[in-house]
Structure 1
């Protein structure tokens, strides 16, 4: 199954938690119907991306990366690549690359927890957001894409983040 077909399948089956999520789900599906390359960075107007919020429920915390270009604390994630078989694979690959943590597993039975649309310098990102469980004793390693990488308590997120990250943390707490 191609990455694009997987994304259509995931989005068609996804049960949005609210009206905003449902509108985004339908917008993403329309985008993929209109753009054969809608999963890839080559689709200049907009493209689907995948991200994962890394969660340590025992410690009551999440791992955020201080993004080098955006200069905000964000969940791990980014562009899908031609080698990604599924959206979930893309989210886990990005999480591993940006955190250095192996052995991550997706929460919510491997389904996305939220969708978020945001403008970036390269295009509009149609982000499919997952929550990933960090294994016990996980040690993070900062990547070249980040200025910093740090654990934050669920209720102690940094001020240099945005509402989408806060919504994702809230949703991840609910599904864990």
Structure 2
């Protein structure tokens, strides 16, 4: 199965945010290249919010280009076999934590946000990743900083999309 086909199946199975879910499906139907950064009308991305439920905390990255505290995530790559695989790869690469596991049940949220031209839109499929006990993070080249925040600190440092993702993740835990 192609990454495109996987994305369509994942989105069809996602039961929340029906209008946004349909917008993602419509985008893919109109853009066979809608999984890739080269699609200037916008493209799907995959992200993973790394959480440590036993300690009530979340790992955020200070994005090098955007200079915002965000979850781990980014563009799909040709070796990704599924959206889950892309989210897990991004989470692992950007957190430096081996052994992350995605929270069962598929995506936690969808978030469409504008980005600078030529790409115009990211249609982010957001997962939650559980950090293993004793996880030690390691900063990547894509980040200015990497830091654990208590759940109740996230609203003070991150934008509303990250806060909504954390709320949805905590509801699933």
Q: TM-score range by the shorter chain?
A: over 0.9
Structure 2: stretches of 5+ with no match in the other structure: none
Count of residue pairs the alignment pairs up:
171
Could you say which residue in structure 1 is the equivalent of 2:63? 67
1:44 to 2:40 alignment? yes
Equivalent residue runs for 1:50-129 within 5 Å: 50-109=46-105, 111-121=106-116, 122-129=119-126
Say whether the 8 Å CA contact 1:41–1:47 is kept in structure 2: yes
1:15 to 2:15 alignment? yes
CA distance in 1, matches of 2:49, 2:80: 18
Residues 57-111 of structure 1, C-alpha deviation per residue, up to 9 Å, x if partnerless? 00000000000111110000000011100000000000011010011111133x0
CA distance in 2, matches of 1:37, 1:90: 16
Q: Aligned-residue CA RMSD in angstroms?
A: 0.9
If the length of structure 1 is used for normalisation, what is the TM-score?
0.95
Structure 1: stretches of 5+ with no match in the other structure: none
Say whether the 8 Å CA contact 1:73–1:158 is kept in structure 2: no
1:167 to 2:158 alignment? no
Say whether the 8 Å CA contact 2:155–2:163 is kept in structure 1: no
CA distance in 1, matches of 2:114, 2:159: 13
Q: Report how far residue 158 of structure 1 moved.
A: 5.7
If the length of structure 2 is used for normalisation, what is the TM-score?
0.96
Could you say which residue in structure 1 is the equivalent of 2:150? 153
Q: Report how far residue 123 of structure 1 moved.
A: 2.5
List structure 1 runs of 4+ shifted beyond 2 angstroms. none
1:132 to 99, 104, 129: 129
